[in-house]
Amino acid sequence: MMLEDKVAIVTGSTQGLGLDIARQLLAEGAQVMLVGRNADSGQALARELGCGFSACDVECDEDIDACIAATLARFGRLDILVNNACLYADQGLASSREQWLKTLNVNLVSAAIFTQKTAAHLPSGGVVINIGSTGGKFGAAGRALYPASKAGILQLTKNLAMTLAPEQIRVLSVSPAWTWSPSVADFSDNDPQLADRVGAPFHPLGRIGRGHEIGSVVAFLCSAGAGWMTGVDVPVDGGFSILGPDRGVSPRVWFQQYRDSQ
C-alpha cells in the first residue's frame, strides 16, 4: 500500500491505459478521481471501483477547475496528478492546422494547464506524472501530430520539474512502447497473443506491454520510494528504446538473411 492516504487525479481514465493506471493507484491504497468526458461510463466505473468521477473536457479550463474543486471537496486533499488524456488520430504531413491544434491542445497544452491549476493544491511531496511515449523519441513515417505532442510532453516534464522543485513537488514522465489498449485490440482483432507476436521483433522481451505494468511503475514513481527522482523520463517499454534500426541483430545475420532471400 505505497500510496495509502494519497489522493490522485488521472485524466483520460475511463478506458485504456488511463483506467489501468487508476486501478493500480487504487490497488496501492490511493483515493482516485477518474476523469473523462462520458459521464455515464465514468460514473458506472466509479461505482464499480469505489472511487470518484469528474466529467471533464481537458480542453476547457472551467471543467479543469471544477474537477479539482470536486476532488478537494470529496477527499479533502490532492497529492498526485497523472496527465494521461490523449488523442491518437494522426494524418502526418496531410494534417490540417485544425487537427494540429486539436491534438496539441489535448495531448500537451491540457497537461500544462492541469498542472498549473493543480500545483497550488499539491503539498510538499506532491507528484505530477506525464504519460509520454516512445513515439516522442523516434521518427515514424506517416505520423506527426502524436509524436510531436509526446516529444513536447517529455520537454515539458523537465521544465515543470525545475519550476516546481522549490516546492518539493516532483514531475516525471513515463514512456510506454506498444501496450495493449483499445487501439491495439482493434488492430489485432482483440487477440493479445497476435499482438504479442507482431510486436515481438521490436521489444527485446518478446511481447507488447500490459496496462497494469505501466500503472505499477506510475504508482512507484508517486511513492516515497521514488522521492529522489524528478525531471526524468522512465521508459516502460520492454526494451524498445535500446534497439537501433538493426533491431539488435548483428550485420552478419542481416547479410546472411539477405543471401538466403536471393
Give the number of other Cβ atoms within 10 Å of residue 35's Cβ: 31
8 sits in which H/E element: strand 7-10
Q: How far is CA 31 from CA 27, 28, 83, in A?
A: 10, 9, 16
Any catalytic annotation for residue 146? yes
Residues in the chain: 262
Q: How far is CA 13 from CA 39, 77, 154, 184, in A?
A: 12, 19, 20, 17
Assigned C-alpha cell, 13: 481514465
Candidates 19, 73, 69, 13; CA nearest to 37 is 13
Assigned C-alpha cell, 129: 506524472
CA gap 148, 140 in Å, rounded: 11
Catalytically annotated residue among 114, 146, 178, 240: 146
Residue 171, class by beta-carbon neighbours within 10 Å (0-12 exposed, 13-18 middle, 19+ buried)? buried
Assigned C-alpha cell, 186: 482493434
Assigned C-alpha cell, 194: 497476435
How many C-alpha atoms does 217 have within 13 Å on its Cβ side?
21
Catalytic residue numbers read: 146
